[in-house]
Structure 1
């Protein structure tokens, strides 16, 4: 039986450690190899292997990890020479484009940032101050009414101006109620202009509603008050959605080009509506527009409406079309 006082066993010594030697199975040599030629275990951890590259010399980043070198100054593209804000909006007397829209590069590829049209929302929400490029919907539905411009035009033509609260403005509520737009109890007449355009007495006003402390114009109506009764009708672009047309029947015009873009609905069989359906002057004027207006009769008026605010160009446009429609009906104005 052995004890701790026994001599050296398997290379271990219970003395002061001077007799320590590496066990044979950990050495690199054989049993006959000299102890000085066998490196210590601690020494092997401090010294790298001959075939191993130091960590500082190896690349540990994956491909594409390093960021590119920062340029001192990036080139700024010159601003694109775009059309004026008034030229960006198509004229009222221009036919709509035929066929599907052609795909093209985004506005940013045109050589620089595009400026928004007048009246279109220019700042993107969120507090970052980024300017958003307006699209087609912004140009169609953006408010283009200029109260100062329309009132200035009316005063130059000798028309009168009202804010919609005068006693003579009370019948305009019936015109709004009979209109093809979805008006609510909050809508009322505002910016009322009255005057003569050719053979007609016209009243033009904005259908407005209150939004907080502001009055927002949503529709522009131009109406011609007529003497006597007028048959009920609705003349709308074929692409428009129509409501409250119960009891009305389509009335053909005999012109395929006109019937493809416009639809005449009659509430009764009246010879005046047949004359309106076959009038070449009305066909020519409506085919030369952008199909953005609706016409109807109600509350003793023949009226036109467009989702916009009144401006001089729209006033002249409505006056020209209403003169042709009233002349085709053979109705007398006030």
Structure 2
């Protein structure tokens, strides 16, 4: 098996180059992501600032070619300031596990997912269990791009593995994605540790490069679904990565149940305890009403989807809720969680 493709420095405009057909091999610390745009949108990154690393890999069993792109903006990573001189307009963020595009009825219906996001008036969305692209028989389909088009947003995709069988029989690269009403820069996909033979997990991050909260970074992850010990290793690796960043939030499916109530903090699982010790606020625990269960969507029993904000920058958080409704119960097997907050000037210092 050949080694990984050599690293080359390229500008964003030079992405359309020659193709080398080779198997995908990725170092343990590789950070790769696919960056996209909705129809009529643009890449918002300056080639003088952004180094683009490209590694193309060949899936022999399907005869399909994929391009993995890494964008890294050294001027944004580690920044401790938001580019705002006053209190910003509220930003709505959402975390949503979309069940590999399959609704509770097994149908792929991008319109339903778009409706859920539109009803919540979300600005930045972290998605779990995303296939991009999707193979349906011999046909290539990009529902992630279609969803971005419907919402008028840009997107970034961070692959963590390959799905050969997905309920309805769809296949494709699987991972996390970010949707944003504002341009994204500094897109990085970090592979997380896990047990041999287990599903590879990752954390995708990007920075809002313009808009009222330019400089804010969004991260989305999906932790192991079997062992709390593995989830603990993964969240520690994620926290190490997040320690390099300024203002940010972390969202996703943690596969760890959270509890609501006056004594809930006494019974936190290790993963959630680690988040609290690292200085993160669970938005729903702080502001949500009721149990806030997110899974399964029709009759939820557990709260396993979270929005976390560093307490240092959580001053402007003023809403958190788990969404419910007829469409929400059909669109996925998870319910989404949304939070809204504004960044006071004091939080950006």
> TM-score w.r.t. structure 2 length?
0.26
If asked which structure has higher relative contact order (CA below 8 Å, sep 6+), I would say: 2
Give the strand-richer structure, 1 or 2.
Answer: 2
Question: Max radius of gyration: which structure?
Answer: 1
What's the TM-score, normalizing by structure 1? 0.27
